[in-house]
């Protein structure tokens, strides 16, 4: 974890793309096999694979192999982490002094 900003950015990058938001929406309905995602999205197989990788690496989605198939679902832990992080990043930090310069 050599750069904390990069780590944090990775979490939100998962949510920056329309296709990935569509995928998340589908996963909100429960765990889905890649084949279901494929037929509902306007995406080729390698494109889906790419987006799923981004989602899984962000921690927001988790995958599970079952024989030939891969199933994906929203990770409760990962999404709780993302929510907490977002709250953190946007909450006034009481320890830093006010210092807003010029006037």
Partner DNA sequence: TGCTCATATCAAATGTTTTTGATATGAGGT
Partner DNA sequence: ACCTCATATCAAAAACATTTGATATGAGCA
Task: Judge whether 57 and 68 are in contact, CB under 8 Å.
Answer: no
79 near a copy of itself, judged by CB under 8 A? yes
Task: Judge whether 24 and 74 are in contact, CB under 8 Å.
Answer: yes
69 near DNA, judged by CB under 7 A? yes
Sole binder of DNA in the list 11, 27, 54, 82 (CB under 7 A)? 54
Sole binder of DNA in the list 8, 22, 26, 38 (CB under 7 A)? 38
Q: Show the tokens assigned to 52.
A: 């799923």
Cα–Cα distance measured from residue 58 to residue 60, given in angstroms and rounded to the nearest whole number: 5
33 near DNA, judged by CB under 7 A? yes
The H-assigned helical ranges of the chain are: 4-13, 18-27, 34-40, 45-58, 76-89
Chain center to CA of 32: 16
21 near a copy of itself, judged by CB under 8 A? yes
Residue 64: CB minimum distance to DNA, A: 10
Task: Judge whether 73 and 31 are in contact, CB under 8 Å.
Answer: yes
* Footprint of DNA (CB under 7 A): 13, 16-17, 19, 33-35, 38, 43-47, 49-54, 63, 65, 67-70, 102
* Footprint of a copy of itself (CB under 8 A): 3, 5-6, 8-9, 12-13, 15-18, 21-22, 24-25, 28-33, 35-36, 60, 66, 69, 71, 74, 79, 82-83, 86-87, 89-93, 96-103
């Amino acid at each position: 974890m050599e750069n904390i900003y990069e780590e944090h950015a990775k979490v939100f990058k998962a949510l920056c793309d329309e296709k990935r938001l569509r995928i998340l929406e589908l996963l909100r309905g429960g765990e889905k096999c890649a084949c279901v995602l494929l037929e509902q999205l306007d995406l080729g197989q390698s494109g889906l694979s790419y987006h799923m990788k981004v989602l899984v690496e962000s921690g927001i989605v988790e995958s599970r192999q079952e024989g030939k198939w891969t199933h994906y679902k929203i990770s409760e832990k990962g999404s709780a982490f993302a929510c907490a992080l977002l709250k953190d990043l946007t909450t006034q930090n009481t320890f830093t002094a006010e210092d807003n310069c010029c006037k």
